[in-house]
């Protein structure tokens, strides 16, 4: 038996992933190590034979959908796609009843939705692990893949600085919390009025006291990117904010990641983006398609992290 698999099963079996704030630093690091091991081995394993993951999608997806479904298949299990049109939760059945019914059929639930309270209520009433595939406030699975990618390229988190430029959205929130947990310095750079939620900033800074990480929020682009080892951006108008796209284009126009803004980052910086990307808006094609970009390794790592997570909680 794979020793990492037995360790993960012992300590994480049955655990929900709603936000990274709920997980201990050693649990996060364990998932990252397991994911790196699975990627290196690159072989299907029948760890989850006979297990079924239900995937509830109220928001569309490419990477989340494919990585979870392929991950379950490679682990010997099955994934069931459930859109809001397919289940009664989208037509008035209570979240509590949905959670109780699905717990009788499935071994785990992954949900990608809008309000974070939906995920919390689903987990409260489910008897099986619930994984947050994305909410308006958090995207923990993406940030696990981000942390894995940083480990691959930078070997450790200690003494490294991540600069995130863009909207104070779910990615910014989860990057702050994930960084705080593992001891990675994280600076969030946003235009005025687009900062991350104050209560989540405070939570991340409190968590960081244990790891020694520095969690900062600024509107000063040059200061934020100064000496960064990792530079990260996201679209300026996330799903649900498309009606503000024109307004946001004006507000964010000075916050584009390009060769000029990156001139103050470390010479060996890596560029990250959770995708999909809008070239010419938040980042230039020169940067996202350039030699410093690791965005497709980052996207691939969604698969390996999801496999490690599923094998561990199941």
DSSP state of 236: S
- CA 258, 260, 265, 266 dihedral sign is positive
Annotated binding residue at 234?
yes
Reported as type and span, the H/E element at residue 164 is strand 161-165
Question: Is 186 annotated to bind ligand?
Answer: no
How many other C-beta atoms can be found within 10 angstroms of the C-beta atom of residue 63?
22
**Partners of 189 in the beta sheet?**
165, 218
- pLDDT the model gives residue 1: 38
Residue in the block written with tokens 């394993």: 45
Across the beta sheet with 161-165, what order do the strands follow? 215-218, 185-189, 161-165, 230-233, 270-273
Ligand-binding annotation for 261, yes or no, is no
Structure tokens at 239: 């799903």
Q: Give the residue among 102, 213, 113, 97 at the shortest CA–CA distance from 156.
A: 213
Q: Is the pTM of this model over 0.75?
A: yes
129 is in an annotated binding site: no
* pLDDT digit string (tens) for the chain, length 314 residues: 344 444 444 489 999 999 999 999 999 999 999 999 999 999 989 999 999 999 999 998 999 999 999 999 999 999 999 987 888 875 789 999 999 999 999 999 999 999 999 999 999 999 999 999 999 999 999 999 999 999 999 999 999 999 999 999 999 999 999 999 999 999 999 999 999 999 999 999 999 999 999 999 999 999 999 999 999 999 998 766 678 889 999 999 999 999 999 999 999 999 999 999 999 999 999 999 999 999 999 999 999 999 999 999 99
Query: What is residue 4's predicted lDDT score, i.e. its pLDDT?
Result: 45
The response to whether 302 counts as a known ligand-binding position is yes
275 is in an annotated binding site: yes
Which pLDDT score, from 0 to 100, does residue 87 have? 86
Q: Are 170 and 143 in contact (CB under 8 A)?
A: no
The verdict on whether residue 276 carries a ligand-binding annotation is no
Residue pair 238/196 in contact by the 8 Å Cβ criterion: no
Catalytic residues: 112, 139, 142, 234, 274, 302
Rounded to the nearest 5 degrees, what angle is found at the Cα of 171, between the Cα atoms of 299 and 201? 150
């Amino acid at each position: 038996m794979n020793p990492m698999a037995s360790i993960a099963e012992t300590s994480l079996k049955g655990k929900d992933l709603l936000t990274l704030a709920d997980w201990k630093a050693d649990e996060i690091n364990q998932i990252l190590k397991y994911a790196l091991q699975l990627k290196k081995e690159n072989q299907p394993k029948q760890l989850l034979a006979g297990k079924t993951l239900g995937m509830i999608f109220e928001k569309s997806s490419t990477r989340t959908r494919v990585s979870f479904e392929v991950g379950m298949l490679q682990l010997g299990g099955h994934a069931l796609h459930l859109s809001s049109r397919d289940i009664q939760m989208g037509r008035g059945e209570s979240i509590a009843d949905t959670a109780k019914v699905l717990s009788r059929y499935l071994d785990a639930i992954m949900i990608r939705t809008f309000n974070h309270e939906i995920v919390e209520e689903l987990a409260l009433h489910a008897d099986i692990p619930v994984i947050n595939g994305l909410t308006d406030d958090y995207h923990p699975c993406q940030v696990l893949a981000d942390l894995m990618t940083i480990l691959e390229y930078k070997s450790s988190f200690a003494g490294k600085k991540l600069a995130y430029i863009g909207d104070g959205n779910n990615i910014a929130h989860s990057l702050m919390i994930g960084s705080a947990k593992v001891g990675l310095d994280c600076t969030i750079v946003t235009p005025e009025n687009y900062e991350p939620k104050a209560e989540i900033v405070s939570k991340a800074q409190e968590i960081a006291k244990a790891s020694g990480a520095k969690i900062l929020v600024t509107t000063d682009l040059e200061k934020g990117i100064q000496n960064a080892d990792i530079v990260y951006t996201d679209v300026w108008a996330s799903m649900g904010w498309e009606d503000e796209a024109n307004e946001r284009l004006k507000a964010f126009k000075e916050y584009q990641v390009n060769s000029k803004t990156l001139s103050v980052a470390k010479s060996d910086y890596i560029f990250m983006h959770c995708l999909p990307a809008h070239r010419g808006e938040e980042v230039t094609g020169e940067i996202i398609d350039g030699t410093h970009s690791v965005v497709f390794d980052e996207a691939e790592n969604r698969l390996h992290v999801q496999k490690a997570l599923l094998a561990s909680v199941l």
